[in-house]
Amino acid sequence: MLGRLAVVSSDHQAPAPAAPLPVIEEISAGGLVVDAIDGVAQAAVIARRNRGGRLEWCLPKGHLEPGESPAEAAVREIQEETGIRGQVIKRIGTIDYWFLGEGHRVHKIVHHYLLSAQGGQLSPGEDPDEEAEDAAWVPLDQLRERLAYPNERRLVQVARRLLDGEA
């Protein structure tokens, strides 16, 4: 029977489609804390390991505590991860993304703020989660090359426009 398909009957059934993974919603906050050091505008950034174990430079951020506003969480998280106490100047944007966890999908929303440094000593040592392995002051004009994530690089552009009085 060339040219024809034969239908073969079987008691074997195809496996049922996998159930969709449950979704966990996470809200975090952080941002860009800036200071003038030796006349140069700089931002405190942190280095942390990504899920693959590679060290990446990024903006400090973390989960909101119960009853905490995103702006309050940003101030707390920045101080915990960088040692720098900041004061919120303005909200600069939100990053919204998805990733896979173990047995679930995560929908994460991160609120970012521009802050002015008010004091403290640059150090990742106060991070209770021990995610930040290093912290550094980076000149604003070098942040685009240092930061690992394109969305964070775009937030730096927004912050620069605010600082330059263009927004």
pLDDT band at 51 (very low <50, low <70, confident <90, very high): confident
Residue 82 has pLDDT above 80, yes or no: yes
Residue 37 has pLDDT above 60, yes or no: yes
pLDDT of residue 7: 46
Nearest Cα to 47, choosing from 124, 153, 112?
124
d(CA 76, CA 34): 15
Domain boundaries, the chain: 23-163
pLDDT of residue 165: 87
Determine the average pLDDT of the residues in 101-128.
Answer: 91
Determine the average pLDDT of the residues in 160-167.
Answer: 85
d(CA 51, CA 53): 5
Q: Which residue has the tokens 């000593």?
A: 121
d(CA 159, CA 114): 6
CATH superfamily entry for domain 23-163? Nucleoside Triphosphate Pyrophosphohydrolase (3.90.79.10)
Instruction: Name every residue whose Cβ is closer than 8 Å to that of residue 93 and which is 6 or more positions away in sequence.
Output: 112, 154, 155, 158
User: Residues of the chain with pLDDT > 90: what percent?
Assistant: 75
